[in-house]
Structure 1
Amino acid sequence: MTMRREHHHALLYACLLAAGACLPAAAHAQSAGDSRSRTVYAADYFDDVAPANAYDMVLRLPGFTIVESDADVRGYAGATGNVLFDGARPTSKREDTAALLKRIPARAVARIELIHAGMPGIDMGGYAVLANVVRRDDASTEWAVETGFSAATDGGAPEPRAKFEYGRRRGDTALDVSLKSVREIDDDTSHGSIRTREGADTWRRSLDMRTIEGEQEAAVSWRQPLASGRLSLTGALRGEDARTTTRIGASAVDDAERIGERERYREAEVGMRFVRQFRGRTTLEAMASVQRGWLEEREHSQAGDDDERFEGDTGSGETIARIALTHARSDVLSFNAALEGAYNALDGDSRVQEGGVDVPLPGSDVRIRERRGEATLGATWNPAQDWTIEPGLRVERSEIAQSGDSPLQRGFTYAKPRLALRWDAGKSDQWRLSLSREVGQLDFNDFVASASLDGGVVSAGNAELEPDKTWRATLSWEHRFGEDAALTLGWTHDRIEDAVDRVLVVTDDDVFDAPGNIGRGRRNTLSLELAAPLDAWGIAGGRIRSTLLWRASRVTDPVTGRGRGISDEEPVEGEIEFSQELPALRANWGVLVEHIGERQTKYRYDRITRESEAVGWTLFAERRIGEHWRLRAEATDLFGRSFSERREKYDGTRADGAVGEVETRRRRTPGVVSLTIRRSVGG
């Protein structure tokens, strides 16, 4: 019944959004120049929302959703997001795009360009649309200090947050410095109960969890002209800490269980990027970066005489060098080419103890070294005014050497062709179609053993894991309402080979669950994105922005031989945001509804875990005080948010055993309120 309600809720939201999309949108005067491949939004286009920074401005763009860079993807080409800064991508793929945008004051932005596929001399990086934030080049100095706190409604101590930003620009020379320290309550913090049924016996225990996360960052960037081009240098130090304490109350059949978890991550990164244009038709980009990271994990579980410990220490590093060239031969034909090389390393040690005795784990001592290279060739051709064709080919070669308790050496070579078409069916409609071969990247952490004592799961490492290969077809339709609203519908179909899921690993002493390849699979994804003003409904200054996604996948279960969805995937994702600008009060407010219909199913050889969570919401309000002060208040899930988890544990494997125990966890998080004040000066 829960699953059906979630689907009904998601469909209801979709119907409401579609109805809103059919309304006539208010046409705002756009002080911009439009073309088939680029739409330019001058800074005054955003005046009606009084943005604080470039992030507020990008959110306002119709038909555009920020895609963050993916630090888990090795290399650079496949990890970047869809936002450019002064025509170039960020040097670091580990820094959030949203964080970079928030560091740029709105008054420092000259314009924002929406670039569609087909723009001569632009490497789209596989995206249909890019946003390019162009900063003013006149001399300016800005700095800002932000401080505040967040607190849970269950009476916990407030958690502080602070941020400092400084920027100095003069022509094409710029210095940016940022410092950040944030502590917050994670939504694992909750109170609830565990109901366990084993045969005819049923018992209940209390569940109390509290997780505090901390994040620190110091970053600096420098930009200056060099050799008729532009040189950018970046450096950053980052740290993340998380502590979780869990208490599972005593019952008639066992003693109270206490679990303590701690994660500590430290990272250092430096990078360089050089960009030069030749006669306005050819652009050369060269970049290099070096990153090192250190992760420490500790977990201890104790219940009566039972004592379990997990310790994991991981060191990782990545060095990347890339050179790319784009050349616009004419207004209708351009070419791009790139060469990229990367060296990746991971050293992982993990230990599990039960009652002080070590448990042998496959993949508990792993040393991995990877050399990876990729060559790219592509073109953009406009055979007619309304048509754009983008063929491309990437060839990847990687060599992975693994030592430790599972020594192995392997090499992979993959060709990844791509063909994209775009048709502008009038001024308001655009159709996009693409066909590509995608190759997943192996997660080195899957090679290393891990454990979750609270979850009762110990996972072995798998040295023989191969990347999944996918043929992907994507079709999307974008419809614009006036100049200030857009609706985008998309469909993606994936045909997967060597799908990565969960498999059974058998050793001389025990059996374990591990990541592994399980054969062929398929996936269909439907998406809906909407951004529109609500003036036509009588809500002056109101605006709605939403993203909804439906996903269905199918693979053959390696344990039972029957069909099922891919483990850990969420069939439904979505969020809806309403905001309203109140010029007379120099304020804005809104509400964000997220986690719509979120649930997932995890398959292990001896258990099935089904997780679901209720819809979450955040009410926010911001007030501008004078020219330099902003006060922002937020209330998130003020009355709490519920989570449920059902663990079906089998006697033996799921193929030949019966369900021996069913554990149902229900918990509810407290609400969180936060208050932030920001002081900014300069311009």
Structure 2
Amino acid sequence: MTGFRRKIAIVLTGTFCIISPALAHAEGRSGGTVNVTAIEGKRQFRADYFEVYAPVTALDMIRRIPGFTIAEGEGRRGFGENAGNVLIDGDRPSSKSDDIFTILSRIPASEVDYVELTEQAGADAETQGQGQVVNVVRRISSKLTGTYEGNVVFGHRYGFRPSVNGSATLRRGETTYEFNVTSYSERVYGYGPEDFKLGDGSLVERRYYKGTGGYDGAGLGGAIKTRIGGAKVNLNGRVHLDDSFDHRTGIYSNAADIFIGNELLLRGGPKSDINYEFGGDIEFKLSPKLTTKIIGLYRAATESNDSSIETARIGQPATFFETRNRNKPVEFVGRIQNDWSALAGHAIQFGGEVAYNQLDARFSAANSVLGAVTVFPASNVLVEETRIEPFLTDVWAVSSKWKIEAGAIAEFSKLTLSGDSSASRSFQFVKPRVIATWSVDPFTTVEFRVDRQVAQLDFGEFATSIDVALGNQVDAGNADLVPEKVTTLAAQIRHKFLERGSIQFRGEYQMIGDTQDLVPVTLRDAAGNITAQFDGAGNIGDSKRWNGELEITLPLDWFTKSVGFSGMEVKYTGHYHGSRVTDPVTGQSRRMSNRPVWHQEWALRHDIAKSGFVYGVTAYVQAQNNAYFFNEYRRQKEGVRTNVFIEYSKFKLGTLRIQYTSIPDFGRDRFIYAGTRATGPITQIVNRRRYLDPLFQITLSGKF
């Protein structure tokens, strides 16, 4: 048995030993749950269920629902395909810039009437494709309500960074007004060596780096929800400013530890980047059995990043390398969906979506030595895509225990590149989906899924960029990139026990076409001669992936009440990721790049009854991450990330939270070959180690 398999066996055996007495205890109960209404496939959590957790926002409440994890979509193509699994008052937010975590954090917990968890296929017409959906239902109130948060992040080498966030909601008759403001600021201090060695491992040069990086941001947003006649109308908007930077110095020494030079790296935007979004929807009934919803969304941004690296070695001329990036993404989405309920036992949805995406990417780089400047070829690319997607879905309630969702989306799209790269391609895809759920009893659900999806393209990968912090590594734009296609077979079982406990396991097998990974990108002159070769994103043929996920939430009252305390809970989440693909350089079988074999999270939380105190600790760890370049093999490993906190919720101003976060140490090993990984020996080894100062955080949050 390998070491990894032995670890898996120990984890599974220990898990079984832990939950067996709990499950036995649960089976001995009457089957009801305090403060929870349960029927096949649905559970309704009233506000008093969450009292023990003293939640401030709706996000705090959602995080306490056993067996539920917020999903934001999986990078699929299309607005409809990226529906998450959280609704607000039965509606999906018509926004892409504001994530659901941010939206939930603006809703005061005191304004939530109840939270409903549905675990059935076709759980809601707004989130089709999800087998598990939460709906946050707010109270009807005419009062001004909202949330506020003051936050300070600090460390002994980068000072104090304050942030302020707030939201307000006002209802007048049929109209609700929402307003929010947000700001954040954070700094991280890192240091450590980078060793350059020959292929035999002998040290040639050491560079010791230290530096500070960080980001600042601020944003304003708002929404209006009202009724016009019999129609529901939602409008929302958001504008956000972001600024980030990186400042690093390096000291060079030779194998004898003698100083031989230094380096200064500066990276950041010359001005704050701005992004904004406007969206909305209108929903109305064309007949008692037919409901129509029209959604519109527009967003745009300006993104800039300049970098420079200056190196001065003893006895050599100084070198200066600089890059400039200017990107302008734009997106427009229009969608119409119709829900028809005229057939008994069936809920049919049909409609269409049209989208236009654009990226205007402009990149330049220059290298200067002794006053002479070498300008690299510009990489100015305009990427445009127009996509039309008609869709049809039927949710069939076979019985109170069985539901089946079956549907398909047809995609017709055209992608064009102009500027330094020219290309034009048309795509036609059919994306079918079948989901079946079996509600074994009010606390156990089994889900089966078969679907075919098309991954979203990252338009930035059509344009060239350079990482100055990694030896001026070039990420070449690839005009031949196409989206990968994934067919998934999956099964999942979820079981609730002990009122607040759950266990679930998911397994899936995926067959991928046009797998996206790192590929060699060759540049040629007009005569066809190779002028340069770089790495970039590309397609490397067919591959296989298989994944497993185990999640356990285990309240310990059944054990700890006998020794005099309650309110303690442990949670474990473990993921395993396997994959197999043919390497485009060596022709041999290997794992996919940038896909760790496993990652795990362990958490313990103790809500001390009636005291207002809560404390907890979380630990996250993952396996090493590998990447395969045409002339380099790279492995990267991070240490354990830990988070320790204590909260007190009985202050008049709200909840006070003190938190310590240890940011994991980082190690990267690069093995660089002469020629390619298939033909050349290893000529250079580069070992980088980075250590990061921990973060301390004090937060005061409340609701009104």
Fold similarity call, TM over 0.5: yes
SS in 2 for 1:250: strand
> Any idea what SS the aligned residue of 2:398 has?
strand
Question: Match of 2:350?
Answer: 337
Assess if the C-alpha contact under 8 Å between 2:550 and 2:574 holds in 1. yes
Distance change in 2, residues 1:121/1:242 (3 Å): closer
Shift of 1:673: 0.5
State the match for 1:255 in structure 2. 261
Deviates more, 1:138-147 or 1:545-554: 138-147
* CA offset digits 1:293-334 (Å, max 9, x no partner): 111011111212232112111001001111112233466321
Q: Which residue of 2 aligns with 1:593?
A: 619
3-state DSSP of counterpart to 2:520: strand
Instruction: Give 1:230-629 correspondences, 5 Å limit.
Output: 230-252=232-254, 254-263=260-269, 264-276=272-284, 282-304=290-312, 305-329=318-342, 332-355=345-368, 356-360=373-377, 364-456=379-471, 457-508=473-524, 509-538=531-560, 540-594=566-620, 596-629=621-654
In structure 2, stretches of 5+ residues that fail to align are 313-317, 525-530
Identity %: 26
Q: Structure 2 matches for 1:44-59, cutoff 5 A? A: 44-59=48-63
**What is the rounded CA distance, in whole Å, between the counterparts of 1:479 and 1:306 in structure 2?**
62
Q: Aligned with 1:22: secondary structure?
A: helix
Please report how far the alpha carbon of residue 145 of structure 1 lies from its aligned counterpart in structure 2 after TM superposition: 3.2
Which of 92, 103, 108 is the matching residue for 2:106? 103
Alpha-carbon shift at residue 650 of structure 1 (Å): 1.1
In the alignment, the residues of structure 1 paired with residue 159 and residue 3 of structure 2 have an alpha-carbon distance, to the nearest angstrom, of: 36
Superposed CA deviations along residues 533-570 of structure 1, whole A, max 9, x for unmatched, are 22112051112233221101111110111111111122
Quote the offset at 1:434 in angstroms.
0.9
Residue 655 of structure 1 aligns to which amino acid in structure 2? A
Is residue 336–residue 352 contact of structure 2 (8 Å, CA) maintained in 1?
yes
Deviation at 1:11, TM superposition (A): 6.4
Aligned in 2, Cα 1:274/1:532: closer, same or farther, shift over 3 Å? farther
Task: Measure, in 1, the Cα distance between the counterparts of 2:538 and 2:667.
Answer: 27
Q: Which amino acid aligns with 1:617?
A: T
* Structure 2: distance between partners of 1:211 and 1:119: 45
TM-score (norm. length: structure 1): 0.93
In the alignment, what sits opposite 1:206? Answer: 208
Q: 2:528 matched to which residue of 1?
A: none
* Length, aligned pairs only: 669
Shift of 1:9: 6.4
Tell me the amino acid that sits aligned with residue 548 of structure 2: L
Deviations 1:630-680 (A, max 9, x none): 21110111xx63211001111111111111100111121111111112343
Instruction: Tell me if the contact between 1:10 and 1:597 (Cα under 8 Å) persists in the aligned partners.
Output: no
The Cα offsets for residues 512-539 of structure 1, whole Å up to 9 and x where unpaired, read as 1111110010000000122232211205
CA shift in 2, pair 1:23/1:58, >3 Å: farther
User: Which of 680, 687, 703 pairs up with 1:657?
Assistant: 680
Helix, strand or coil: the match of 1:33?
Answer: strand
Of 560-569 and 114-123, more deviation after overlay is shown by 114-123
Moved more, 240-249 or 548-557: 240-249
- Which amino acid in 1 is paired with 2:190? S
Cα distance in 2, alignment partners of residues 5 and 267 from structure 1: 48
Q: Distance in 1 between matches of 2:131 and 2:446?
A: 10
Deviations 1:387-422, CA, capped at 9 Å, x for gaps:
222111110111112110111111101001111122
Offset at 1:175? Answer: 1.3
- Distance (Å, rounded) in 1 between the aligned partners of 2:295 and 2:60: 29
Q: What is the match of residue 140 of structure 2?
A: 137
Aligned pair partner of 1:77 in 66, 69, 80: 80
* CA positional deviation for 1:353: 1.8
Match of 1:648 in 2: 671
- Give the letter for the 2:234 counterpart: S
Name 2:20's counterpart in structure 1: 22
How far, CA to CA, are the matches of 1:428 and 1:39 in structure 2? 9
Matching residue's letter, 1:112: V
Q: 2: CA distance between counterparts of 1:121 and 1:149?
A: 39
Deviation digits for residues 91-125 of structure 1 (CA, Å, limit 9, x no counterpart): 11221211111111111001111122246763533
Letter of the aligned partner of 1:260 in structure 2? L
Greater mean deviation of Cα atoms: 657-666 or 38-47: 38-47
CA 614–120 in structure 1, closer or farther in 2 if over 3 Å, else same? closer
Contact kept, 8 Å, 1:348 with 1:365, in 2: the verdict is yes
Pairing of 1:111-122 with structure 2 (within 5 A): 111-118=114-121, 122=125
Tell me the equivalent position of 1:217: 219
Gaps of 5+ in 1: none
Cα distance in structure 2, aligned partners of 1:615 and 1:470: 32
106 and 12 in structure 1: CA distance in 2 versus 1, 3 angstrom threshold: farther
Residues 123 and 131 in structure 2, CA contact (< 8 A), matched pair in contact too: no
Query: Residue type of the partner of 2:282?
Result: F
- Structure 1 residue matching 2:642: 3-state secondary structure: strand
Distance 2:321 2:5 in 1: 40
Aligned partner of 2:90 in structure 1 is 87
Q: CA deviation at 1:76?
A: 1.0
Contact 1:318–1:345 (Cα < 8 Å) also in 2: yes
Over 3 Å counting, the alpha-carbon distance change for 1:661 and 1:11 in structure 2 is: farther
Structure 1 segment 662-673 matched on structure 2, within 5 A:
662-673=685-696
Counterpart-to-counterpart distance in 1, 2:207 and 2:3? 28
- 1:323-377 Cα offsets, whole Å, 9 max, x none, are 112233466321111311111111011112222312236xx11011211111111
Cα distance between partner residues in 2 of 1:530 and 1:570: 21
* Aligned-partner SS, 1:366: strand
1:569-603 residue CA offsets vs partner (Å, 9 max, x unmatched): 22212322221212332121111212x22421111
**Distance in 2 between residues matched to 1:9 and 1:616, nearest whole Å:** 20
Computed over aligned residues only, the root mean square deviation of the Cα atoms, in angstroms, reads 2.2
Is the contact made by 1:556 and 1:562 (CA closer than 8 Å) also made in structure 2? yes
Q: Say whether the 8 Å CA contact 2:92–2:126 is kept in structure 1.
A: no
What SS does structure 1 have at the residue aligned with 2:637?
strand
Query: Which secondary structure state, in structure 1, belongs to the residue aligned with residue 574 of structure 2?
Result: strand
- Describe the shift of the 1:598–1:245 C-alpha distance in structure 2 as closer, same or farther (beyond 3 A): farther
Preserved CA contact (<8 Å) 1:592 1:619: yes
**Separation in 1, partners of 2:448, 2:33:** 31
The alignment partner of 1:149 has SS state of strand
Using the TM superposition, give the Cα deviation of residue 33 of structure 1 relative to its aligned residue in structure 2, in angstroms.
3.3
TM-score of the pair, normalised by structure 2: 0.90
Structure 1 pair 283–450 and aligned structure 2 pair: CA distance change class (3 A): same
Residues in 2 aligned to 1:195 and 1:531: alpha-carbon distance in whole angstroms:
43
Structure 1 stretch displaced more, 580-589 or 518-527 = 580-589
**Which letter does structure 2 place at the counterpart of 1:556?**
T
Structure 1 contact 641–670 (Cα < 8 Å) conserved: no
